[in-house]
């Protein structure tokens, strides 16, 4: 533990540096944001059309649904990770040899780097939230407890997102190619996270599949809490499911990491 404490300043510094990298690409970030806003607008229009004037469907009022979808898409943008691509580049270019020689383990470096990147996104919310309010719609959490539990659930969702990114990044040690893999992951994640259709509107069979996958931790579980659809034990059960995924993915990542270290081929040089 003291060892970690001793290294903490260095890790925070690393996070700060990677945040600066993100700022260098702020035009890119704003572009991504425009894409998200278009998506939110489209979802609002489509759902408003299918509701066709009904006050609520399956106990969900339209403004609640729109608020869910608006936040879901903003949230996926915030939870997006770069570390998978970072591993990819390091392996491709051979610079991973340097990183492996550093005092902090590579996984630790990557996690802190991602934290820095995400922190750099937070100020953009000052633009994103008002804009999303206009093209979509936002409501306050269903209750103060819902708001607090949502914050916990969002943090756990972030953990799952980072772990999946590292896991996908490690695949590069075997395939040396992963750009397409990341893109496919993004599309599949968006759908099964419930960012287009909340899982409660899924047909039964598809819903059972979605509930077995880790992607629901990215939007559906936190936002069901936020809008007050999952309360009490339901909310806690959702959080437990997220905790389970963090543990499972962590063990898988650690196992794959040990294998990758025996397999590492340094390219270039």
Partner 1 sequence: MTQTASLYFALVRAGLRSQLQYRANFVIWIVMGVVFQATGFVFLWVVLSRFPSLAGWSLGEIAFLYGLRMLAHGLNILAFGYLHRIEWLVQRGELDRFLVRPVPALLHVIVDRFPVGAIGDFGGGVVLFLAANALVGVAWTAPALLYLVLAIVGGALIEAAVKLVIGTLCFRFLSTRALVFFADDVFNNFGNYPLPIFGPAVQLLLTFVLPVAFIAYFPASVLLGRTAELSVSPVLAYAAPLGGVVAFGLAYLFWRHELPRYQSTGS
* Residue ranges in contact with partner 1 by CB under 8 A: 27, 31, 34-35, 38-39, 42, 45-47, 49-52, 57, 175, 177, 180-181, 183-184, 187-188, 190-191, 196-197, 201-203, 206
Of residues 188, 75, 229, the one with CA closest to residue 237: 229
| Residue whose CB is less far from partner 1, 210 or 221 | 210
**Tokens encoding 186:** 């993004």
CB of 8 vs partner 1, minimal distance in Å? 38
| Residue whose CB is less far from partner 1, 2 or 49 | 49
| Residue whose CB is less far from partner 1, 3 or 58 | 58
State the helix-helix crossing angle for 144-170 and 106-121, rounded to 10 degrees.
130
**Tokens encoding 31:** 């572009």
If phi > 0 it is left, if psi is from -120 to 50 it is alpha, else beta; for residue 232 that is: left
Task: Quote the DSSP letter at residue 122.
Answer: G
| Residue whose CB is less far from partner 1, 14 or 172 | 172
Q: Residue 123's Cα: distance from chain center in Å?
A: 17
How far is 190 from 197, CA to CA, in rounded Å?
10
| Residue whose CB is less far from partner 1, 112 or 215 | 215
| Residue whose CB is less far from partner 1, 182 or 257 | 182
CB of 32 vs partner 1, minimal distance in Å? 8
The residues with which 61 forms a beta bridge, in sequence order, are: 56
Q: With beta carbons less than 8 A apart as the criterion, state whether 74 and 219 touch.
A: no
How far is 82 from 166, CA to CA, in rounded Å?
9
Q: With beta carbons less than 8 A apart as the criterion, state whether 161 and 79 touch.
A: yes
CB of 15 vs partner 1, minimal distance in Å? 28
CB of 45 vs partner 1, minimal distance in Å? 6
CB of 43 vs partner 1, minimal distance in Å? 9
CB of 193 vs partner 1, minimal distance in Å? 11
Of residues 196, 190, 68, 204, the one with CA closest to residue 141: 68
| Residue whose CB is less far from partner 1, 7 or 85 | 85
CB of 41 vs partner 1, minimal distance in Å? 9
């Amino acid at each position: 533990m003291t060892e970690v404490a001793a290294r903490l300043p260095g890790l925070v510094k690393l996070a700060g540096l990677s945040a600066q990298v993100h700022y260098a690409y702020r035009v890119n970030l704003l572009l991504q944001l425009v894409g998200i806003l278009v998506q939110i607008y489209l979802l609002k229009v489509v759902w408003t059309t299918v509701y066709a004037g009904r006050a609520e469907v399956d106990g969900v009022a339209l403004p609640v649904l729109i608020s869910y979808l608006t936040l879901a898409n903003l949230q996926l943008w915030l939870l997006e990770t770069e570390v998978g691509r970072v591993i990819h580049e390091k392996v491709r270019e051979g610079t991973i040899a340097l990183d492996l020689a550093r005092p902090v383990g590579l996984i630790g470096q990557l996690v802190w780097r991602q934290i820095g990147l995400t922190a750099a996104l937070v100020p953009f919310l000052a633009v994103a939230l008002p804009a999303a309010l206009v093209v979509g719609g936002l409501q306050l959490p269903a209750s103060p407890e819902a708001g607090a539990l949502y914050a916990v659930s969002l943090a756990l969702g972030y953990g799952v997102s980072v772990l999946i990114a590292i896991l996908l990044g490690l695949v590069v040690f075997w395939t040396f190619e992963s750009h397409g893999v990341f893109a496919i992951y993004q599309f599949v994640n968006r759908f099964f996270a419930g960012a287009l259709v909340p899982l409660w509107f899924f047909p039964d069979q598809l819903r059972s599949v979605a509930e077995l996958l880790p992607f629901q931790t990215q939007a559906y579980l936190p936002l069901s809490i936020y809008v007050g659809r999952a309360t009490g034990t339901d909310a806690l059960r959702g959080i437990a499911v997220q905790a389970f995924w963090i543990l499972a993915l962590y063990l898988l990542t650690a196992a794959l990491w040990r294998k990758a270290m025996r397999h590492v081929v340094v390219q270039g040089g």
